[in-house]
Amino acid sequence: MSVIGRFAPSPTGPLHFGSVVAAVASYLQAKSQNGQWLVRIDDIDPPREQSGACDSILKTLELLGLHWDGEVLFQRHRQDAYQEALDLLSSKKLIYRCNCSRKQLQGNAYPGTCRLKAHSSKQQHALRIITNQTPVNFNDGIQGHVQQNLENDVGDFIVRRADDLIAYHIAVVVDDAWQGITEIVRGADLLDVTSRQIYLQRILNVPTPAYAHIPAAVDADGKKLSKQHHARPVNDDQPETILFLALEFLGQQPDEVLLQGNVEEIIQWGVKNWSMKNVPEKATIEI
């Protein structure tokens, strides 16, 4: 079976170093196996999008020599597919309306408050999926064995928001299946949500890709580098340095002589020498 990997950034700002590391890792994992690497823009949350961010992201990827296969997929064009998935969940009586506010909810797991309530479709509401006590298990390529009891640890989670926007988990699962993604390499900050996505994959009867969660880049305070925390964008004028630092972060031990080469030479070295086993088995790494 041919390998298909992907990188799926949200257009909420330019790429920061943590995002670049995820892009590099997913690219090298796919290309080291002669696979395809796809780019998908996670633009299903318009209120959070930043004007010009999408163009900036794609420009940075190209400057780094991370050339994608095929056309970029924009999730905003996939609304019919997401609705089809919601309709299937509804036909299985696995989703229900919920009008609980965040203020009403206590604790980490949703307690199923609205499971047995009748809500009018005219009321503003989210849609939640019913979870159960069966543990979800998977072996992560970097972080090892993971097990989660969704009903206890998470509760019934949202698949469509109260503002009628599709939730991240359902969009990701639907598009990964449609694009034939076989391997997902991303930050360990998403490790906790993977069980939810596997749960949806099983219900929707679509394949489960192999997962590998690289350490998330954090600052001195332990905060993940993110646009929300105002992480600085990478400097597009120094693509060779950025690539070299990303390889170091990923434990690939690049030779400093690479800094004298160009982007293409560094990428070629990365593909030839890529080893998932060398990626640190950590949830976070401070930079």
Could you give the domains of the chain?
A: 4-77+174-286 (3.40.50.620), 79-160 (3.40.50.620)
Residue located via tokens 């079976």: 1
Token pair recorded at residue 111: 């307690």
* The model's pTM: 0.94
Convert the pLDDT of each residue in 69-97 to its tens digit.
999 999 999 999 999 999 999 999 999 99
Give the span between the Cα atoms of 36 and 5, in whole angstroms.
6
Phi, psi (5° rounding) for residue 192?
A: -65, -25
Alpha carbons 28 and 277: distance in angstroms, whole number: 13
Structure tokens at 237: 């004028």
pLDDT in tens, 232-275: 778 888 999 999 999 999 999 999 999 998 999 999 999 999 99
For residue 107, give the amino acid letter.
Answer: G
What pLDDT, on a 0 to 100 scale, did the predictor assign at position 230? 53
The answer on pLDDT for 11 being more than 90 is yes
The pLDDT score that the predictor gives to residue 178 is 98
E strands within the chain?
Answer: 4-7, 36-41, 73-74, 95-98, 126-129, 136-140, 144-148, 158-160, 183-187, 210-214, 216-218, 284-286
| Nearest partner of 19 among 55, 49, 60, 73, judged by Cα | 60
